[in-house]
Amino acid sequence: MIFKSFYERGKPVSVTIKDVARLAGVSPATVSLVLSNKGQIAEETRRKVLEAAEKLGYRPNIIARSLIKGKTNTVLLCAFIKEQGRFSAFYGELINSLLVAVSSQGYYLQMVIKGEFYNGHPLDKKEALLSIARNRLFEGLFILSHWPVHYAEVSELVRDGFPFVVVNQRVEGDGVSYVDIDHYGGAQEAVRYLIRQGHRAIAHIRGPREHRHAEERYRAYVDTLLEHGIPLQKEYIVEGNFRRLSGRVAMERLLEAHPLPTAIFAGNDKMAIGALQVAKERGLRVHQDITIVGFDGIEAVKYTDPPLPTVEQPLGELGRVAATILMERIKGGEAKQIILPCRLVG
């Protein structure tokens, strides 16, 4: 019986076009034409092929077929995250916007998360990216990284013509597509807002020094104060780690400064919320005794008491623009570099 050939040591073996052809009494080429709905095939022959395929449980290898055609309709998001398993609200919203955008173009989005180390050794981003590009399962690649992405790490992707977009940071170099947010401009707007409110004793809870966006926001804070003739006070600058608890610790330190700051520009919303909690515990009236402004625009700041002003990042637009550029690159379009503005809300 033909069915005996489909089991080897008790394990099912893949059914092939040749097996279907043998059972239907036709050539493999005829089976291929019937299953792809091509060519002029007699109705009786078509019926025999379809019955044989159903009886044998034949399923075409969609992945293999896609690879032969060079089109899988699948793109990959490769996320280099410092702490795997700790996904911030920022990353979640950004990834969702990418998913919605690529789905609207008829593509699937897969995702791989890579940490700082691999097998006990520092991760080589260049090798990781090349490995992804060369397995041919994906038509394009989004690169999202906690750490800076350097041109040397993507130069071979450029050379090979593999479509990719770096998301949420800039990589200078020919042939690189990226979409970033104007963190410097957004931070400037926040500090200028506080100055317009009459504040001159403005403190900053900055993000970690190794984080590029934290550095941009810090630099904007410094430049904007100096631009308005406001001298820097060392005790008004405290470093946090983008978490709520570090905002609490930083606020405790700032409330020991003399004179007390009248306004706080926090490097992100989580630290702003931590600072708000301490201010209220100390009996300060927020927006009267002290003003606090955050950065990111996460949903939580809408529900603090009182709600906090924040610099909102256009995450939905970031995902849509990145997806549009990647789709264009897949079709042979030119590399693009886009910077999106932030806006102060609340």
Residues 56, 83 within the same domain = no
> What angle, rounded to 10 degrees, do the helices at 17-24 and 43-56 form?
120
> Containing domain of residue 53, as a range?
2-60
Supply the mean pLDDT for the chain: 87
Tell me 345's DSSP state. Answer: E
Altogether, the residues listed in the chain come to a count of 346
Residue 66 falls inside a structural domain: no
Task: Look at 83 and 224; give whichever has higher pLDDT.
Answer: 224
Amino acid at site 36: S
Is the pLDDT reported for residue 222 higher than 60? yes
Give the pLDDT band (50/70/90) at residue 181. very high
Per-residue pLDDT, 54? 76
pTM for the structure as a whole: 0.75
> Which helix (H) or strand (E) is 315 found in, with range?
helix 315-330
CA torsion 285-291-296-300 (nearest 10°) is 10
Per-residue pLDDT, 2? 41
Structural contact between residues 271 and 246, judged by C-beta atoms closer than 8 angstroms: yes
Per-residue pLDDT, 87? 56
Per-residue pLDDT, 59? 63
User: What's the CA gap between 75 and 102, in Å, rounded?
Assistant: 8
Whichever domain contains 10, its CATH number is 1.10.260.40
* Largest interatomic CA distance in the chain: 93
Whichever domain contains 211, its CATH number is 3.40.50.2300
Residues 222, 200 within the same domain = yes
User: What's the CA gap between 168 and 184, in Å, rounded?
Assistant: 13
Residue 345 falls inside a structural domain: no
Residue 12 falls inside a structural domain: yes
For residues 330-337, average pLDDT: 95
Residues 101, 195 within the same domain = no
Is the pLDDT reported for residue 84 higher than 70? no
For residues 281-292, average pLDDT: 96
Residues 223, 120 within the same domain = no
Task: Tell me the C-alpha to C-alpha distance, in Å, between residue 19 and each of 32, 102, 124, 187, 274.
Answer: 12, 38, 45, 66, 66
User: What's the CA gap between 176 and 37, in Å, rounded?
Assistant: 41
DSSP string, 198-219: T---EEEEE--TT-HHHHHHHH
> With pLDDT > 70 as the criterion, what percentage of the chain qualifies?
87
Is the pLDDT reported for residue 139 higher than 80? yes
Per-residue pLDDT, 7? 40
Structural contact between residues 308 and 292, judged by C-beta atoms closer than 8 angstroms: yes
Residue 346 falls inside a structural domain: no
Give the pLDDT band (50/70/90) at residue 83. low
Give the pLDDT band (50/70/90) at residue 6. very low
